[in-house]
Amino acid sequence: MVQAKNTAENVADYLRMAILRGEIKSNEPLRQDKIALELGISKIPIREALVQLKAEGLVTLHPNRGAFVSTLSAAEASEIYTIRIALETVALEAAIPRLTPSMLIQAENTLRVMDVETDVARWTELNWQFHAQLYQAADMPHLISILEPLHVNVSRYLVLYLNNLGFQTTSQNEHYGILDACRIRNATHALDLLRVHLQSASTTLATFLMSEM
Amino acid sequence: MVQAKNTAENVADYLRMAILRGEIKSNEPLRQDKIALELGISKIPIREALVQLKAEGLVTLHPNRGAFVSTLSAAEASEIYTIRIALETVALEAAIPRLTPSMLIQAENTLRVMDVETDVARWTELNWQFHAQLYQAADMPHLISILEPLHVNVSRYLVLYLNNLGFQTTSQNEHYGILDACRIRNATHALDLLRVHLQSASTTLATFLMSEM
DNA sequence: TGACAGTAGATCGTATACGATTATACAATT
DNA sequence: AATTGTATAATCGTATACGATCTACTGTCA
């Protein structure tokens, strides 16, 4: 059954996408009246959407002053990756013995699509899709629901420099390596590769964030 | 600066406490009109509070049907503890080299208060306070903000059987052990004790939840 | 000139009102 | 008896309206 979404959830999706695609930049205010006018609705569902986005870490709410797109400091980015490494290794470890052949094929298909995807925002979506497909087998929905916003929160910065470097190629090689290790059920190796994969993304992002500020 | 809270946040605090103290039981509906009448306010801030509590995992929202206090299955409880073990060991490891003497004394004071606390709801609050005091030194606010709702979400079940067993005594012994290991900066030992501590809480809770359902 | 008070406009926060959706009770039908 | 249909009540969702708060600007006074 597909849950019918109310207006607030649709607004949250709309704003999340706008933030992710960089259409609304860091520290920019999200004016309730303005968004309401834009979407042709009232402020009520927008306020609820903002509470939701606050929980995801995408916006910061200042009482009586409004909502602002949150900024990620280098320290915060590194903290998020530390959390991701801790949780994603747990997820992958639990997943590996449960991965079915069809799951592995689906994950590989995602990588194939990523190989030829040029839109960076879409590429980061697929990036999470690949990881999530593997973690799905762990059957830990709560863990996934914690990981997803963490991924979203850093990926909006990743898109800013993805074009420049050979990051995508390196990242893809690491992805194929992880997938191969999963296929032969070599958990130790898969976890090592995943740690290196996330760690390298972490340092790349931290370096980028420091150079910007 | 102490953030001035708006009505929605106060409502969230009020409802969270009511759920935690068992005044509103699992699966019970949270009627917007009823709560609004009770508190003498309108539904608008209540709806925002419910979105917040949904993010914390305390309530489940069904579109057009209302909000209900969420239930924890044995599987979900065990998943939450798996997440907590992964994250709390990371936090404690980062914290140990940074713990100051005054922090250690404050944590010990919390344990002393717990020794004589008879109200179980208050005891679980202090329990989290003890853990959080240690983790604070890690300087990882995002990690703490993920851990807190996880702790809150299981503690409302812990209070249901805390009275019966010798759980509190065992738990306190483990707490003092962890604190001692922190004091002598023996990270390996502290992490081992923490893992055992959480694991035993996990199995106790899982057993309890299965016997209830 | 610089600090401050006062005011106007922008924006937020929430009470009220009402249409939309869902639940309930009960009659009609098979 | 079980099922379907319908009226009614309960509840949710959101638009509108307005008071409260904040921001920016202006003019006053030292």
| Interatomic separation, CA of residue A128 and C1' of nucleotide C23, rounded (Å) | 40
Alpha carbon distance B131, B152 (integer Å): 13
Range with top average pLDDT, A1-10, A154-163, B38-47? B38-47
Alpha carbon distance A171, A169 (integer Å): 5
Show which positions of strand D are touched by protein (CB under 7 A). 11-17, 21-23
- Give the type of residue at A127: N
Using the predicted structure, report yes or no on whether residue B1 has a pLDDT greater than 70. Answer: no
Q: What's the pTM value of the predicted model, to 2 decimals?
A: 0.94
Q: Are B56 and B152 in contact (CB under 8 A)?
A: yes
pLDDT, average across residues A174-195: 98
Burial A127-148 (b: 16+ CB within 10 A, else e): bbebbbbbbbbbebebbbebbe
Q: Are B7 and B45 in contact (CB under 8 A)?
A: yes
Q: What are phi and psi of B158, to 5 degrees?
A: -55, -40
What percentage of chain B carries pLDDT values higher than 70? 96
DSSP B213: -
Taking the CA of residue B7 and the nearest CA in chain A, the distance in Å comes to 10
Using the predicted structure, report yes or no on whether residue A2 has a pLDDT greater than 80. Answer: no
Mean pLDDT of chain A: 94
pLDDT, average across residues B5-25: 93
Q: What are phi and psi of B24, to 5 degrees?
A: -115, 120
Query: Is A122 in the B-facing interface, judged by CB distances under 8 Å?
Result: no
| Interatomic separation, CA of residue B44 and C1' of nucleotide D14, rounded (Å) | 10
Strand D: which residues 1-40 of B lie within 7 A (CB)?
4, 29-34
Q: Do the Cβ atoms of A86 and B82 come within 8 Å?
A: no
